[in-house]
Amino acid sequence: MTWSPPALPTRAGPKQLTEYIAGRATGRARTDARPPREVVPGNPLRALASPVLWRASIHLALDGLVALAGLAVLVVLVIAVCLAPAGLVGLPVTVAAGWALFRLAAVERARFAVTCGLELDELPAPVWSWRLAKSLQSLVHNFCTWRLIGYFVLLMPVAVVTVVGVALIWAVPLTLVLLPAYYRGLPGGQAQLGPFVVDSLPRALLVAAVALLVGAVLSPLIVKLLLALDTALAVALLSRPRGMELEQRVNDLTESRARVVDAAEAERKRIERDLHDGAQQRLVAMSITLGRASSRLKKSGDHETNKMVEDVRRETLSTIAELRNLARGLHPPVLTDRGLAASLSAVAALAPVPVRLDVLVEPRPSSTIEAVAYFTVTEALTNVAKHAHATRAWVEIRREGARLDVKVGDDGHGGADLAAGTGLTGLADRVSGVDGRFRLSSPVGGPTVIEVELPCG
């Protein structure tokens, strides 16, 4: 079974994102607020007056046509599959028949919606593409294909019952009701109706009355019964199964979470860029002007004023340094540029305890995964510096196929606790945001080891 979600921008901007989610939310609300299914009224008089009964009858009468169309598609499909060894002929015909099968199902769902007010959830269609093999694979793997084949196979006997049934329940009472009118023209002036012989006008009138009564009471009931059979089949095989609904919801959520994480990462990058292009540049420009002022004052011999300007310049420089650390903490440009090893070497160098760094990440994972790995290490090392009383720490990052293993350890006194509300909780949250796994081992007395697995497919 392959359910292919609609193609989405991989890195949606925040605005796009809200719009997309909002759009999806309203879409879902619409399917939930489904109109109640139309029901043939129980009261025969009301039933006969209700358009529902007549639409249902038309629906049942049309079953035969749909069943015939289904039969045609299935026959073509079977022939195509038998021709499949011939490849060139069988393949496109199989795909075309598969496509027709899903189109017919759509028509059938529309028919149910119009004639019975029954809204069936759309089935996930296979991915149609000009590459036949791909379409075929998608068709075969989509288990809804098999449900549809089952539907149209079962529809054949069901349609026989419904078409014949609906014809009989309307035709027989109507014919009998007309009996008095034909009475004169009956051969031999009499007719045999089962054990009864109709040979006089009053009898013919009696039969007509009984037929009218029985027809009016029974016909709606039988229509209801036949329709229930038809509907049950459609709900069972033509509608999207419940489990699938849930599965798709999980897919949607996984996807939207990935988009949220990506968007947050993009946002961090953007803020870093803004700081870099804005505040940082301005402050540097300011410090340069202050530096120029200072050297002029030095030349003019105004040492008092020069000292003031120098103070301001130094203050500016420390602000720049603070801003730099802030921006670097958001998203270090060298991470985008040169990857984990390069960006972490600076982090290790600036750590208060010696850090042994061992990073082997080839090929590079997505920028979001790189960022999460980077922050795992920086956060862990910050914790080491703050809480662990360690003399040394080590970092090991390895890419194992579709998995990035990040390990950070120290020789401190241990006892780190996720529940204690340190940065570790945020770290674990961030890892779980990309479907990663977080493990912490920190017995009292040490050592502390953090192990993180990040998916990088």
Partner 1 sequence: MRVVLAEDSALLRQGIELLLSEQGIEVVAAVGDGEQLLRAVAEHRPDACVTDVRMPPTFLDEGLRAALAVRARWPETGVLVLSHYVEERYAIDLVNTNDNGVGYLLKDRVSDAEEFVDALRRVAAGETVLDPEVVKQLLAGSRQRDPLSTLTPREREVLTAMAEGRSNAGIAADLVIGTAAVEKYIRSIFVKFDLQQEAGDHRRVLAVLRYLGA
356 binds partner 1 (CB under 8 A): yes
349 binds partner 1 (CB under 8 A): yes
Residues belonging to the chain: 457
313 binds partner 1 (CB under 8 A): yes
437 binds partner 1 (CB under 8 A): no
**Cβ(359)–Cβ(341) under 8 Å?**
yes
DSSP state of 393: E
Q: How far is the CB of 304 from partner 1 (least distance, A)?
A: 20
Q: How far is the CB of 303 from partner 1 (least distance, A)?
A: 16
316 binds partner 1 (CB under 8 A): yes
320 binds partner 1 (CB under 8 A): yes
Binding residue for partner 1, selected from 292, 307, 386, 439, defined by CB under 8 A: 292
Q: How far is the CB of 351 from partner 1 (least distance, A)?
A: 8
Omega of the bond leading into 447 within 30 degrees of 0 (cis): yes
Q: How far is the CB of 284 from partner 1 (least distance, A)?
A: 5
Site for partner 1 in 147-166 (CB under 8 A): none
Return all residues near 301 (Cβ < 8 A) that are at least 6 apart: none
295 binds partner 1 (CB under 8 A): yes
Give CA angle at 396 (393, 398), nearest 5°. 175
287 binds partner 1 (CB under 8 A): yes
The kind and range of the H/E element at 407 are strand 403-410
Return all residues near 293 (Cβ < 8 A) that are at least 6 apart: 309
271 binds partner 1 (CB under 8 A): no
- Helices marked H in 86-142 — which ranges? 90-116, 132-141
**Cβ(451)–Cβ(439) under 8 Å?**
yes
Binding residue for partner 1, selected from 41, 44, 92, 333, defined by CB under 8 A: 333
Q: How far is C-alpha 67 from the chain's CA centre?
A: 33
Binding residue for partner 1, selected from 120, 139, 176, 290, defined by CB under 8 A: 290
From CA 452, how far away is CA 374, in angstroms rounded? 11
Q: Which stretch binds partner 1 (CB under 8 A): 4-12, 14-22, 226-234, 276-284?
A: 276-284
Q: How far is the CB of 385 from partner 1 (least distance, A)?
A: 14
281 binds partner 1 (CB under 8 A): yes
Q: How far is the CB of 448 from partner 1 (least distance, A)?
A: 19
From CA 60, how far away is CA 159, in angstroms rounded? 8
CA atoms within 13 A on the CB side of 147: 20
Smallest CA-to-CA distance from 159 within 48, 61, 265 is with 61
Judged by CB, which is closer to partner 1: 144, or 381? Answer: 381
Both tokens of 259, joined, read: 């988009």
Binding residue for partner 1, selected from 277, 302, 311, 429, defined by CB under 8 A: 277
From CA 306, how far away is CA 296, in angstroms rounded? 9
268 binds partner 1 (CB under 8 A): no
324 binds partner 1 (CB under 8 A): yes
Question: Phi first, then psi: what are they for 360, rounded to 5°?
Answer: -135, 95
Q: How far is the CB of 336 from partner 1 (least distance, A)?
A: 6
Which residues are registered as beta bridge partners of 451?
Answer: 407, 439
Q: How far is the CB of 338 from partner 1 (least distance, A)?
A: 5
Judged by CB, which is closer to partner 1: 250, or 342? Answer: 342
From CA 393, how far away is CA 409, in angstroms rounded? 6
Binding residue for partner 1, selected from 87, 354, 426, 443, defined by CB under 8 A: 354
Contacts with partner 1 by CB under 8 A lie at 273, 276-277, 280-285, 287-292, 294-296, 313, 316-317, 320-321, 324, 327-328, 332-334, 336-338, 342-343, 345-346, 348-350, 354-357
